[in-house]
Amino acid sequence: MATTKTVWGIDVGQCALKALKLQLREGKLRALSFDVIEHGKVLSQPDADEQALIRSALSKFLSRNSIKGNTLVISVPGQASFTRFIKLPPVEMRKIPEIVRYEARQQIPFDLEDVVWDYQTISPPSAGPREVEVGIFAMKRDIVADYVSDFLTMKIEPDIVQMAPVALYNFLRYDMQPSGGATVLLDVGAENTNLVIAEGERVWIRNVPLGGNNFTQALCKEFKLQFSKAENLKRHAAESKHARQVFQAMRPVFGDLLTEIQRSIGYYTSLHRDSRIERVAALGNAFRLPGLTKFLSQNLGVDVVKVEGFETLADAEALSAPLFRENVLSFGVAFGLALQGLGVAQISTSLLPPEILSTKIMKQKRPFFVAAGAALLAAVGAFAYDQIATSGELAGRQGEVQRLSSDIRNLQKQNAEHQGKFDEQKSALVEQQKKIGEVESLIENQAYAYEILRTVWDAWPHDENWENYDPWKDEPPRSTLKIIEMLGLTMHYVPDVRTYSDQVRRGAGGAEAITVVGHEPPTPPEGEENPPDAPAQVIVPGVLVEITGITPRTGNDGQRLVDEELIADLKACRRTIELQTPAGREILAMMPFTGMFRNQREYQGYARKRSIRKKSREDERAAPEELKVDKGGDFWFRAQWVVGIGPLTESQRRRAFEEIAGMANRVGLDDPRKIDPARAKGADAAKLAQIDRNLTVLAGAWLVARSDLLDIAVEGVTKEWPGAAVPAAE
């Protein structure tokens, strides 16, 4: 009689170990047991011994539960993993592994030998002549080994290793009934938030670097508490007599989490225009905080519902215990892991290192080795006899052997020639891919420019008195207003952000001596050195944002206003490039050009545009004239801000090419001979010339069209100096 399979899903988080034991019997899912073991300290605390705490929890788990004969599925955190979803052209099933391996080499930012990776088709290729979507999942080999080593040390040999966000997706697809639109699943952990969006066969995953510890740290800062006391205050915030002050201290973190969720949803909907968010499901003990669910619901415009139980385990007696009901919000990952072990999960990839898998297989097959050895000895005897007989036959057929040897040498020669041609074609392909990669760096996605604009708008100073300003009376005095008027904003592609260092601009040293913070060159494998001709630093592309503006504050007062109210906020942006130079840290948000407005060319155009002829009293009554405010003495500045560009996904890449191709046609740059670098609004022609001429055309088109979009987004109108404002609707 066949035995029924049972599975333990084990999720070791920052605060506790969660484990769930499931069994599938007669088509019904049954929960046999569960366990929750809190760590003595949060693993991310500075004084916490992470390895000792994890092994202590595993030891306690083994003392309370039996794992013999069970399948074990463990999780690894999403922030340490790599996920890509790509679309393949319509191909035969047998060719998919080869194509996916090629794509993996292009997409994974490490050598494949240094990672454990797996893939799975999301949309079945048998569904007709359409694109096949494939999910690629990877993790650095040493990081996986580090997570698994704690289990192996405690004599727990996992059968499957899965990423936490993928486990959440498997839970979502199995336990929650599909809705008409997309479902967002938020799992707020201690250090990070896993955000999963599922819609039909479509899945999108993002890790947000915000979690429960951010709420705790806010309390530490506000009330000058130790981490452990702040954590206890957070957990019992609703019961505290200072509840109002506690939630007020945590409110900025509420806002940060909301912003990241909105950005993620906005990005997803920009990729899939036909999508609409139907519901948001909440997991993680952070949602035990009163008010968080309501806050997100009100600001997202979609009901956020906490997962209070599991639909497919509604009648499970094992889960009726108070301990489970109290911690149900933290069991999503463990549930998804167990589902995969039972073979009913949507995604069944595994990041179990091959060497560990081989060891498990060897142990399972050990009983068969003795019999196999005896059979091998018999086979060797028979083979030896056959060889003796064969050598006797060949002795009389020496000429035929020589002819076959000659044929083999000819085949080897032809193979070498074909290999040489193949290597040439491969080199040409790599070169073309490099050029394509440069063009990809021009545009990340349709929402990228607007994210930059939103940052500029948030950083822009606003004075409440400006709404009450009367230019006829100059009340309140314009020179006292804390305002900056924007004259222009443009964006340009930067092939290497290091060239914008003050050190390079002054001629004090080359870019080779400068590193981009967060983009250090990869460390060579142990025992190896970088080749002599390898580049010393990583070349990072970016976007240069140039802002031209004026402020009625003059002299040092005006410079201080721009520095403290605008430049400082741009420096604080996460996308802002930060350099490490021999002279120290340098942030690429600066104000290199200053002066009086009337000394600039912009002022001449402004003055002509705003000049007013003398009107008669009758004309004045019919149409009141517009007062000309002399802004010639204003402080004038041109600021520069360099931000990073992230890699493109497959769908973003395709949409980017469609967009820049359409822009090229609209501005008449359909022929390489028509290229005019001056049309790129000040972009350095030498930078554009680094790309193939045909691609330079598209680059120029992107710069022209994108800058027009920027004007519309910031001002509501496009301004040409001199000239009239054009309504944004046109």
| Residue ranges with strand state E in 70-181 | 71-76, 81-88, 115-121, 132-140, 160-163
Selected residue with higher pLDDT from 524 and 556: 556
Q: How far is CA 672 from CA 217, 508, 669, 681, in A?
A: 56, 38, 7, 18
Quick check: 260 and 451 in contact, CB under 8 A?
no
Local confidence band at 81 (pLDDT 50, 70, 90 cut-offs): confident
pLDDT top residue among 149 and 533: 149
Cross-strand partners of 183: 198, 279
Q: In one letter, which amino acid is 21?
A: K
The answer to whether 116 and 68 are in contact (CB under 8 A) is no
Confidence of residue 283 (pLDDT cuts 50, 70, 90): very high
What is the CATH T-level fold of the domain 6-352, as seen in this structure? Nucleotidyltransferase; domain 5 (3.30.420)
Note the helical H segments in 396-543: 398-440, 448-459, 502-505
Enumerate residues 6+ apart whose C-beta is below 8 A from 545: 452, 456, 489, 490, 491, 640, 641, 642, 643
Report the distance separating Cα 319 and Cα 313, nearest Å: 8
Give the ranges where 198-315 is alpha helix by DSSP (H): 212-223, 227-235, 243-271, 292-300
Q: pLDDT per residue over 432-483, tens digit each? A: 665 555 445 444 444 567 678 878 888 888 888 887 888 788 888 888 888 9
Least Cα distance to 187 among 283, 265, 261 occurs for 283
**Token output for 372:** 């196999």
Burial pattern 672-707, b for ≥16 Cβ within 10 A else e, equals eeebebeebbebbeebbeebbeebbbbbbbbbbbbb
Contact 286, 212 (CB under 8 A): yes
pLDDT by residue (tens digit) across 601-631? Answer: 878 776 654 444 444 555 444 444 455 677 8
Judged by average pLDDT, the poorest of 219-233, 260-274, 399-413, 654-668 is 654-668
Q: What is the pLDDT of residue 437?
A: 53
- CA trace torsion 702, 707, 713, 716 (10° rounding): -130
Identify the three-state secondary structure at position 491. Answer: strand
3-state class of 334 per DSSP?
helix
In this structure, how many other beta carbons lie within 10 angstroms of the beta carbon of residue 76? Answer: 23
Would you state the pLDDT for residue 34?
A: 93
In a 13 Å sphere around the CA of 325, the CA atoms on its Cβ side amount to 6
Q: Residue length, the chain?
A: 730
What is the domain partition of the chain in residue ranges? Answer: 6-352, 369-425, 441-520+537-611+626-727
Torsion of CA 99, 101, 105, 108, to 10 degrees: 110
Compute the distance between CA of residue 563 and CA of residue 592 in angstroms, rounded to an integer.
Answer: 11
Instruction: Give pLDDT, residue 448.
Output: 63
Q: How far is CA 368 from CA 340, 363, 373, 492, in A?
A: 29, 10, 9, 67
Residue 516's pLDDT is what? 86
Q: Phi first, then psi: what are they for 674, rounded to 5°? A: -90, 0
Its pTM surpasses 0.75: no
Using DSSP, state whether 387 is helix, strand or coil.
Answer: helix
Among residues 322, 327, 325, the alpha carbon closest in space to that of 36 is found at 327
pLDDT > 70: percent of the chain: 71
The pLDDT tens digits for 697-723 are 444 444 444 433 333 333 333 333 233
pLDDT in tens, 341-398: 999 999 999 999 887 876 666 665 555 544 555 555 555 555 555 555 555 555 555 6
CA distance 351 to 130: 29
Identify the band that residue 125 occupies on the pLDDT scale cut at 50, 70 and 90. very low
Q: Which one-letter amino acid corresponds to residue 650?
A: E
pLDDT of residue 11: 96
User: Among candidates 177, 166, 165, which has minimal Cα distance to 307?
Assistant: 177
